[in-house]
Chain A
Amino acid sequence: EIVMTQTPLSSPVTLGQPASISCRSSQSLVHSDGNTYLSWLQQRPGQPPRVLIYRISNRFSGVPDRFSGSGAGTDFTLKISRVEAEDVGVYYCMQATQFPFTFGPGTKVDIK
């Protein structure tokens, strides 16, 4: 099973300032088909998770462009260019390259 880790686990940020979350996998997430199935999910308080980013850097439908993803192999990053109040929540990276799909522990983003 691929183990996903995230840093930091908590990230207090100032409104309008950037935020960055790192995600690392215990082995390469490059699939045999050449794709890398690393996605980012956001879970707002009291809500189910929703997909933000898929295949490292593709924004899901309706996701604001202040969210961006990057990385390769085993190291990935989610960036929020300017944090807004509605971005408060927990962010998870998730791999779907190898079964079973696994999640990172989550990074809590809140406002300073």
Chain B
Amino acid sequence: EVQLVESGGGLVKPGGSLRLSCAASGFTFSNAWMSWVRQAPGKGLEWVGRIKSKIGGGTTDYAAPVKGRFTISRDDSRNTLYLQMNSLKTDDTAVYYCTRELDWLFYNWGQGILVSVSS
């Protein structure tokens, strides 16, 4: 069974930093393309960024609102995906979901982790 478990969320002040982790199991993580998707309270879904598998090039892509502030990385030896978030803004307040991309779909989703940015 595929499992994606996010951790590391919480309350942070504007301008602060936070690192989210996503522990993956039930599939070959090193072969997976992984994305972060977020959902502001009461709002819709927004793709944040993606990292390809190393065999796929290992490159990252980011949505315009987070480019230059957020960094996605992976540790295939630990089956873990990361989202480093710097210079956080109140608009970044959201539930952040870790997802596995497959066949042009967000195939599997974690339960999500809340990040609150507030003074």
B44 and A96 form a contact (CB under 8 A) = no
Q: Complex Cα distance A55/B97, Å?
A: 22
| Interface bits B41-60 vs A (CB < 8 Å: 1, else 0) | 00011110000000000000
A101 and B109 form a contact (CB under 8 A) = no
A51 and B63 form a contact (CB under 8 A) = no
Chain B residues bordering chain A, tally (CB within 8 A): 17
Query: Does more than half of chain A's interface fall in helix, strand or loop, or is it mixed?
Result: loop
Interface residues in A92-112 (C-beta closer than 8 Å to B): 92, 94, 96-97, 99-106
Give chain B's interface residues, CB within 8 Å of chain A. Answer: 35, 44-47, 61, 63, 97, 103-107, 109-112
Chain B, Cβ-Cβ closest to A97:
B104
Question: Hey, which chain A residues are within 8 Å of B106, CB to CB?
Answer: 41, 49, 51, 94, 101
Question: Hey, which chain B residues are within 8 Å of A97, CB to CB?
Answer: 104
Chain B, Cβ-Cβ closest to A96:
B104
Q: Complex Cα distance A40/B103, Å?
A: 14
